[in-house]
Amino acid sequence: MRIVVVGNGKLGASIARKLADDGHEVVVVDHNEKALSTSLSNNNVSGVVGGGVDRAALAEAGVSDAQVVIAVTQSDEVNIITSILAKKMGAGHTIARIREPEYMGSMELIRPEMGLGMNVNPELEAAEEISRVFRFPSALQIEFFSRGRVEIVELCLKDDSPLVGMKLADFGAKFKSKVLICTVRRGEEVFIPTGDFVLQAGDNINITGALRDVNQFCKKLGYTSRKVKTVMIVGGGRIGYYLARILQDIGMEVKILEKDRERCEKLSDLLPKVTVIHCDGTEQDALMEEDIAETDGLAALTGLDEENVIISMFAQSCGVAKVVTKINHITFGGVLEKAGIDCVVTPHVITTQRIVRYVRALQNSEDSSFETLISLAGEGAEAIEFHVGKGFAGNHVPLKELKLKKNILIAVITRGSKTIHPTGDDCIMPGDNIVLVTTRKVNEISDILQ
């Protein structure tokens, strides 16, 4: 597909790189010629210098022949106008980043009239992910498939975990649990483990299965840390606002620390049930004065990665049970793990996944339709959900006879109301939803077969 990405910030560059890796013809449009040149040299994309409201620049980028135009500049207004222009010029589908809370309620009403296929809000999506982690504080990441019936949870194996030293071939007999360990991240390496794989302390594992089975297994392993009832949010930007709104609605006690007085006043008006404190949350004295040691959870959401890391380390030293750190530069990942910071949220990565999922869904064939895409293990693997069509060559074939490519694991099959933890004797049937985990590029279900 020909895809035009307008805006070459962190999100735009991430989207362009991911879609180019998927084999699409990608053109990036941005005013900043120097930054655009750097992006083009690092990715297999082409570029046009210009803006989203510049019709000549959009024409040069080939918008009229583009199947998808993605507007992700820093301005909501520019993204909206770009989407309208692109649609008028003949683009097939348009996607716009719209972040302001004031716009969110109106977008669903006017989106059809705009011809907008999808609007994305990285800050809201990041807040939703953080809220899931606070609801299940033992997890590093939680994702849902099959309309919420299947769960993938990331856990870190501590030294005293009963899984440490165990071969996966012995897992079923020892735990008698209907869950599957589908990925293991050890340092910089990511594995789709086989039966001979031996788990070690410090491994980050992803387990999957039906919600009840995953939750029971986590309790069996002792991942039952105290429930998060009080949360401190350092940074009252958009993510802080969205997160506070979500948490207050599910009954948590929330406190926001924000150093800009005008922003504090606005947050107080928007969130009457939330305690808003005007102070610098990066200072230890301020955190101590606001009883950081008595809070169950903390989210470090300032605009600077370095500040968020320091705040998180201090919170952990004070005994805060669950700490979430917002990071914009994903290259910090290895450093953070060494510092003991294991629960990290990167907004542009979350949004990139959602956009890539939308684009892949446009390529649905009679074999299958693309449902869900989630990055796992620090982006080292993907969990992908397909709805299986009648044309898939692997239908009715026992999995033990199905010739899959390497590093592909069929993790879960859902058939009607039934969730299947598949064995070699199970078959994929037309109408099933399957969740597969892989370190390969899989755009459609036929890609999994040799």
Determine the pLDDT at residue 243.
97
Strand 408-415 relative to strand 418-420: parallel, antiparallel, unpaired?
Answer: antiparallel
User: What are the angstrom distances between the C-alpha of 129 and each of 55, 122, 123, 272, 396?
Assistant: 37, 11, 10, 23, 37
What is the pLDDT averaged over residues 125-153?
86
Query: Which of 109-123, 171-185, 192-206 tops mean pLDDT?
Result: 192-206
- What length is written for the chain? 450
pTM of the predicted model, to two decimals?
0.83
Task: Report whether pLDDT(139) > 70.
Answer: yes
* pLDDT recorded at residue 222: 77
Q: Where do the structural domains in the chain lie, given as residue ranges?
A: 2-120, 143-220, 230-320, 351-448
Average pLDDT over residues 270-290: 95
**Quick one: pLDDT at residue 167?**
92
Per-chain mean pLDDT for the chain: 88
Report strand pairing: 253-258 vs 275-278.
parallel
In the numeric block, the tokens 């004070």 are attached to: 318
Over range 65-89, report the average pLDDT. Answer: 94
Using the predicted structure, report yes or no on whether residue 368 has a pLDDT greater than 70. no
Same fold for the pair 143-220 and 351-448: yes
Question: What pLDDT is stored for residue 140 in this prediction?
Answer: 81
pLDDT tens digit string along 301-340?
Answer: 999 999 999 999 999 999 998 999 999 876 555 567 666 7
SS3 content of the chain, % helix, strand, coil (to 5): 35, 30, 35
Residue 13 CA to residue 53 CA, distance in Å, equals: 19
Q: How far is the C-alpha of 5 from the C-alpha of 25, rounded, in Å?
A: 11
End-to-end Cα spacing for the chain? 24
Work out the average pLDDT over 157-181. 87
Asked whether residue 64 carries a pLDDT value surpassing 90, the answer given is yes
> Does 113 score more than 90 pLDDT?
no
Q: What is the pLDDT of residue 332?
A: 59
Residue pair 408/448 in contact by the 8 Å Cβ criterion: yes
Q: State which CATH number among 3.40.50.720, 3.30.1490.20, 3.90.550.10, 2.60.120.10 fits the domain covering 2-120.
A: 3.40.50.720
Answer for the pair 86, 4: CB distance below 8 angstroms, yes or no.
yes
Mean pLDDT of all residues in 26-54: 88
Task: Note whether 398 and 424 are within 8 A (CB).
Answer: yes
Q: Looking at the predicted structure, is the pLDDT value of residue 71 above 90?
A: yes
260 pLDDT above the threshold of 90: yes
Q: What is the CATH number of domain 230-320?
A: 3.40.50.720
**298 within 8 A of 281, measured Cβ to Cβ:** no
* Residues paired with 186 in a beta bridge: 189
Beta-carbon count within 10 A of 87 CB: 18
Report the range of poorest mean pLDDT among 12-26, 31-45, 109-123, 360-374.
Answer: 360-374
- Which CATH fold topology does 351-448 show? Alpha-Beta Plaits (3.30.70)
Whether residue 411 has pLDDT greater than 70 = yes
Is the alpha carbon torsion for 334, 339, 343, 349 positive or negative? negative
Nearest partner of 231 among 124, 123, 134, judged by Cα: 134
Q: Mean pLDDT across the stretch 429-448? A: 89
143-220 fold: Alpha-Beta Plaits (3.30.70)
Mean pLDDT across 76-98? 93
